[in-house]
Amino acid sequence: MENLINFTVGPVQMLDEIREIGANQVPYFRTSEFSELMLDNEKLIKEFMFAAEDSRVVFMTGSGTASMEASIINTLTEKDKVLIVNGGSFGKRFVDICDVYDIPHDEIKLNLGEALKEEHLENFKNKGYTAFAVNIHETSTGVHYDIKLISKFCKEQGLFLIVDAISSFLADELYMEKFGIDVVITGSQKALACPPGVSVIALSKNAVDRVYNNKPKTFYLDLKSALNNAERGQTPFTPAVGILIQINKRLNQIKVNGGVETEIARVQSLANYFRNKIKHLPFKEVTDSPSNAVTSLYSINEKANDIFITLKDEYKIWICPNGGEIKNKIFRVGHIGYLTEKDYDRLVDAFDDMNKKGLL
């Protein structure tokens, strides 16, 4: 039997060099060597996010959601009023976090697969908002929101801008400084293609000032101690040392191979390759504003979950299912991680075979 192929949106397939690191003993970390590695991680994340010179980066041990929560509670307070783009389950997560901490907020509710447009923002002008939170790629539906539009709105309205780019970093262009983004969040198991367990928060100078002036009701997620420790390449508590070493290897590989633009172009070319090869199948793209990270597809015959199960059990291929109301309507195919055009050929062959058997 051929190897299993993973087209989910995380954890994704890792390069062999990254996997090999996982077999090593985990080193002690209160050392100058580990500090150096962490400072290199910070430098490369800033470079790949096009962050300002005076911005800072902290590495959190915890999945992406830990960093979403840390970002909200360290940079915002009950005196803020946040506008949240809610176009799916990750947008809803920002809403839930603000609910837990009583941070005032309103939602821009979007329909499934709907892109954010100027007219959505129009109603929220000059209404006393202080901050804006968005998952730039709403991974649950595959929509990639227009950062230029959001950036312009936030600059005009003077809003503090938090961008969850967890599934978008290294897959879609993102210019932190140019677009005036104050917080960018990402995670280890998406396009970084490392094991899950580490998430990353990049903070503008303005965001760092907010952190130091804030007293969030949290101990582990307080970013003041993370920022203080990060000055010398350390973390307040034992981090996921092994994953941080894998992240360092991966960031340096990207750098050597031509940098972030080359990596984004690679992901984009896989996405285009796949999208061009499925036009004859009974699927329809969910959005006309897709991220390069994922293709989200309607199953015309509402067999999305069956397709997921059959591919897994009969063809050893994992695509990404959806839950809830859209369980049978939509499935997703990822383009992040260590994938090649050959892998997509195998997926499309499997689709063709299933189509012949009436399983699509």
Ligand X SMILES: *Cc1c(COP(=O)(O)O)cnc(C)c1O
By the criterion CB under 6 A, which residues form the site for ligand X?
Answer: 10, 63-65, 90, 135, 137, 139, 164, 166-167, 187, 190
- Rounded Cα distance, 98 and 100, in Å: 5
* Cα–Cα distance, 67 to 49 (Å, whole number): 16
Answer for the pair 192, 186: CB distance below 8 angstroms, yes or no: yes
| C-alpha 309, offset from chain centre | 25
Cα–Cα nearest to 157, from 191, 187, 132, 176 = 132
For the bound state, the minimum distance from the C-beta of residue 187 to ligand X, rounded and expressed in Å, comes to 5
Q: Minimal distance in Å, beta carbon 247 to ligand X?
A: 14
State whether the Cα torsion 56-42-238-16 is positive or negative: positive
Handedness of CA 133, 135, 140, 142 (dihedral sign): positive
Nearest CB to ligand X, comparing residues 56 and 190 = 190
Nearer to ligand X, 164 or 263 (CB): 164
Cβ 194 to ligand X, closest distance in Å? 12
Q: Minimum Å distance from CB 152 to ligand X?
A: 22
**Structural tokens at position 108:** 């821009």
Count Cβ atoms below 10 Å from residue 312 Cβ, excluding itself: 14
Q: Whose Cβ is closer to ligand X: residue 190's or residue 335's?
A: 190
Instruction: State how far the Cα of 98 lies from the Cα of 118, in Å rounded to an integer.
Output: 25
Q: What is the CA radius of gyration of the chain?
A: 20
Smallest distance, ligand X to C-beta of residue 69, A:
9
* CB-nearest residue to ligand X: 64
Nearer to ligand X, 233 or 334 (CB): 334
CB of 353 to ligand X, least distance (A): 30
Cβ distance 331 to 297 under 8 Å? yes
193 or 350: CB nearest ligand X: 193
Nearer to ligand X among residue 267 and residue 354 (C-beta): 267
Residue that the structure tokens 């312009």 belong to: 152
